[in-house]
Structure formats: C-alpha cells, structure tokens
Structure 1
Amino acid sequence: MPKRLRLTRRFPVALTNDAYRMLQRFAEDAGITPDEALCFLFEHFHSVTHAENLTARLRLFKAELEARKV
C-alpha cells in the first residue's frame, strides 16, 4: 500500500520570482499543487537530479550569490 501524502511539516519559504514561476509551471504541468510538487522533488531528489550537474550548478549559484543579494 502506498504511503499517504500527509503534509505535516510547514515552513516559511522565500523564492525568487523565477523560482516561484518554475514551481508553479512544474506543478501545473504535472497536475498537482505546488505543495505536492515540492514534496515530490524533495522525496525523489537523488533520482531527479544529476549529481555532477547539481554540483556544478550549485558552485555557479554560490559564486553569483553575493551579487544577487544586492
């Protein structure tokens, strides 16, 4: 029997406009809510990301982070 989807943990989250639009688009395309989309992405994180690409993208993001905060 599949696990029941119980959204028991809540946390305030801040997103950029681009990230928010991508989340909304992903959820809409998948036919699920944004909450369900986030659950899916984090529960299946290792299977929906490519480890080498993730590391490279994270390195780029961190390098640009200070400039993006201004």
Structure 2
Amino acid sequence: MPKRLRLTRRFPVAMTNDAYRTLQRFADEAEISPDEALCFLFEHFSSVTHHENLTARLRLFKAELAARKA
C-alpha cells in the first residue's frame, strides 16, 4: 500500500521571484500543488539532482550571494 501524503510539517519559506515562478511552473506542469511539488523534490532529492552539477551550482550561488544581498 502506498504511503499517504500527509503534510504535517510547515515552515516559513522565502524565495526569489524566479524561484517561485519555477516552482509554480513545475507544479502546474506536473498537475500538483506547490506543496506537493516541494515534497516530491525533497523526498527524491538525490535522484533528481546530479551531485557534480549541484556542487558546482552551489559554489556559484555562494559566490554571488554577497552581491544579491547588497
């Protein structure tokens, strides 16, 4: 029997407009809610990301972070 999706944890999330639009587009294309889309992405994180690409992207993001905050 499949595990039931129970959204039991809530946390405030702040994101850029670009990130929000991307999340909305992904959820719309998958025909699920944004909450369900986030659950899917985090529950399957290791299979939907490429470790080397993630590491490189994270390094770039951290380098740009100071400029974004200014």
Q: What's the TM-score once normalised by structure 2's chain length?
A: 0.99
Q: Which runs of 5+ in 1 are unaligned?
A: none
Which residue number corresponds to residue 31 of structure 1?
31
Q: Separation in 2 of the partners of 1:56 and 1:2? A: 35
Q: Which amino acid aligns with 2:57?
A: R
Q: Which runs of 5+ in 2 are unaligned?
A: none
Q: Percent identity?
A: 86
Q: Separation in 2 of the partners of 1:69 and 1:40? A: 29
Which residue number corresponds to residue 18 of structure 1?
18
Which residue number corresponds to residue 61 of structure 2?
61
Q: Which amino acid aligns with 2:35?
A: D
Residue 30 of structure 1: how far off its partner (Å): 0.3
User: Could you say what the CA RMSD is over the residues aligned between the two structures, in angstroms?
Assistant: 0.3
Which residue number corresponds to residue 9 of structure 1?
9
Which residue number corresponds to residue 41 of structure 1?
41
Runs of 4+ in 1 over 3 A off after TM superposition: none
Residue 61 of structure 1: how far off its partner (Å): 0.2
